[in-house]
Amino acid sequence: MNKKKNERCIYESPDGGESVFRRPFLDYDSSKKEEIDWKTKEPTERLFTDYQFNNKDKNPKKENPWSWADNQLKTLMNVNKILKEENKRLKEYVKTLESQADELNHTLAGRK
């Protein structure tokens, strides 16, 4: 799935945020879920169907009805952490730009 600019997507994680997949909104076809690298925000070229989640346990336990919500919460917490880090980097970048603008204004004022 190549995400179009205005296409709405759903982000999901079957393993508590270790792997994050994107799918088109209201499209539940697993073959269309693509893995996303949260650091680069780019697709990894792998699909959900390339993985076998939860097939390691030959005696599966009764599924926790809250596991989906727990996974979503963990994913949101990971996304929130990434967004906070990105916000901090952007604030530092803005300070750098402001400092450079001040230096340029000072230089230009000295030429008058």
Residues 23, 9: contact at Cβ < 8 Å? yes
Q: What is the pTM of this model?
A: 0.42
pLDDT at 62: 54
pLDDT of the chain, 112 residues: tens digit per residue = 555 666 788 888 887 778 888 888 888 887 888 988 888 888 888 888 887 765 544 444 555 667 778 888 888 999 999 999 999 999 999 999 999 999 999 999 888 6
What is the residue whose two structure tokens read 């402001």?
98
Cα–Cα distance between 15 and 11 in angstroms, integer? 13
pLDDT at 87: 95
Relative to beta strand 9-12, strand 34-37 is unpaired
pLDDT at 58: 45
